[in-house]
Structure 1
């Protein structure tokens, strides 16, 4: 069995803890959170050996670590795991600023340890199929792309205090585009609208145009003001247009619709519970992590991928705030 510590027992951390608990190759060695009651609750619920409040205490009994804390803590905790020769799965974005993200990505390139970033869309069957069709040439030369993600105002306020929505929301879509388009982003322009979410000092919407070095263009759209009763709590779309065809994805899609005094489209792709066990993209990601730690696979999304997506997200933020075109220096890539 592979002993895993989950550091950060919030919304995503608990999903990771459950996926570890239910995986046949993994054992939850510890649940770590600065909130002792939260750590105790997750440890008890998912059978961890111990609940801890300090991440430094977790590595002695762990083969692998999943870091799901707020991003200002990522760099310290990720480096601490690598210092102890512990394999790492890190929630996105990699860190809270580009310098530390780049340093972590450069270290990840030099280590023999498993180092992955949690981009769950890489494990969503629809997005994965779109990526495969783009990479194997089915679509021909990619001409343009479009990625949209919208969440409710309540969800924006739950997580918005952590910073700009480019880094907790649109970064998924940026990574999805980068994974499909075989070229680096050359420049970024963007606009944003502020008002409804002024109480948490984040924009209501951001729209960006990415220009790639090979001439491909892509649009990234992010919105954080959907009403609370939005079916599934999310609206997302992804599209690629090539010289030989196109591919598109809608989220939550129409896999299941529920009418019972209200209208809903429950999640069937990210973390649904099927026959009493969690399924979906998060569970598939944890399965891939387990196989990578066991030496039977490599991670689909690396820390380098995380840095590249964060770099574009930061450029979008700067372009919108300064009403200017931001050029990305290829020398700053990894």
Structure 2
């Protein structure tokens, strides 16, 4: 296979980014998009893409070889299952499913298929996190003792989620996957609490805190929240820190090194913004890796099994919040 015809299902914020990136990648043609709310003029920015009415219509087109599934979390399982069983390559946005049973079933379906089924966890493609994995795997930190993970977004992000998904599944799962990957160790138990203060929908907590126990015996504190005020100078306040017996590493994503002062003070984050008409950043690297795996059959940088294990951790966090107890994390079978 020398080129790849791709469709994108779901034209929310992340789905549109997928479309923009695919339209600039070599050896890729964005041939179709699906979104019930989209009109033909909405997709004119991608001239090769046809607006189709449903996933079934996409799967009826034998020329489409790969699909990015960017729909809401609660419909991931049914659509992903249908795509894999139809023999199409799949890039599935995180989380791969909304409940552990569905995640585990997707692992079985993917591992028994002959298609590329790759989860979308962008921190795997962020250079600083990739380097952190090399540091830890090279034993520069010694044995990990403790750590701290933080991911805070503005209240507008919670408003966009509109109560459909918890902050653990929307934000915390990024750092949970990164932790298990970088540390090469699974989380085996969790203790968690959430704020009584809710998001604007009233359905989700504004913030959660969790203590994650690694199989090595290390303890990691996780903070995930979408309560930053809109006038906060940066859209993202994130931190990843591990302390070991012989070293320490930290990644700080609050200040990218550019400060802008006009009628307000801002800390822009241009790392993923297009340059010279070309997409760049971690999401581009993720999609380019997916395309390369589809074209040459190379090893996946992240598997469905790894993504499913992150789902298991978030589910345990939410059970701990409900029960007030230390919860063992189910291990993906």
TM range (shorter): over 0.9
- Tell me, yes or no, if the aligned pair for 1:36 and 1:52 is still in contact at 8 Å: no
Equivalent residue for 1:29? Answer: 31
Stretch moving more, 19-28 or 108-117: 108-117
Q: Cα distance, 1:184 vs. partner?
A: 2.3
Equivalent residue for 2:187? Answer: 185
Secondary structure, aligned partner of 1:200: coil
Secondary structure, aligned partner of 1:232: coil
Q: Residues 296 and 79 from structure 1, CA distance in 2 versus in 1: closer, same or farther, beyond 3 angstroms?
A: closer
Q: Cα distance, 1:263 vs. partner?
A: 1.6
Equivalent residue for 1:53? Answer: 53
1:238-317 matched pairs, under 5 angstroms: 238-269=240-271, 271-295=272-296, 297-317=298-318
**Which stretches of structure 1, 4 residues or longer, exceed 3 Å deviation after superposition?**
none
Q: Cα distance, 1:238 vs. partner?
A: 0.4
Q: Cα distance, 1:43 vs. partner?
A: 2.9
1:195-234 matched pairs, under 5 angstroms: 195-197=197-199, 199-234=201-236
Q: Cα distance, 1:28 vs. partner?
A: 0.2
Q: TM-score, normalised by structure 1?
A: 0.94
| TM-superposition CA deviations, 1:163-196 (whole Å, max 9, x none) | 2111111100111111122222221101111224
The reply on whether 1:120 has 2:87 as its aligned counterpart is no
| TM-superposition CA deviations, 1:101-120 (whole Å, max 9, x none) | 11001221222211111111
| TM-superposition CA deviations, 1:133-154 (whole Å, max 9, x none) | 1122222222222110111112
1:164-175 matched pairs, under 5 angstroms: 164-175=166-177
- Tell me, yes or no, if the aligned pair for 1:288 and 1:297 is still in contact at 8 Å: no
| TM-superposition CA deviations, 1:278-322 (whole Å, max 9, x none) | 210111111111111111633322211211101101111110121
**Structure with the higher helix share, 1 or 2:** 1
- Tell me, yes or no, if the aligned pair for 1:235 and 1:251 is still in contact at 8 Å: yes
Q: Cα distance, 1:42 vs. partner?
A: 4.8
What's the RMSD between the two structures over aligned residues?
1.6
Q: Give the length in aligned residue pairs.
A: 329
Equivalent residue for 1:5? Answer: 7
- Tell me, yes or no, if the aligned pair for 1:189 and 1:208 is still in contact at 8 Å: yes
Secondary structure, aligned partner of 1:294: helix
1:12-91 matched pairs, under 5 angstroms: 12-37=14-39, 40-59=40-59, 60=61, 61-91=63-93
Q: TM-score, normalised by structure 2?
A: 0.94
- Tell me, yes or no, if the aligned pair for 2:163 and 2:201 is still in contact at 8 Å: no
Stretch moving more, 289-298 or 94-103: 289-298
Q: Residues 41 and 175 from structure 1, CA distance in 2 versus in 1: closer, same or farther, beyond 3 angstroms?
A: farther
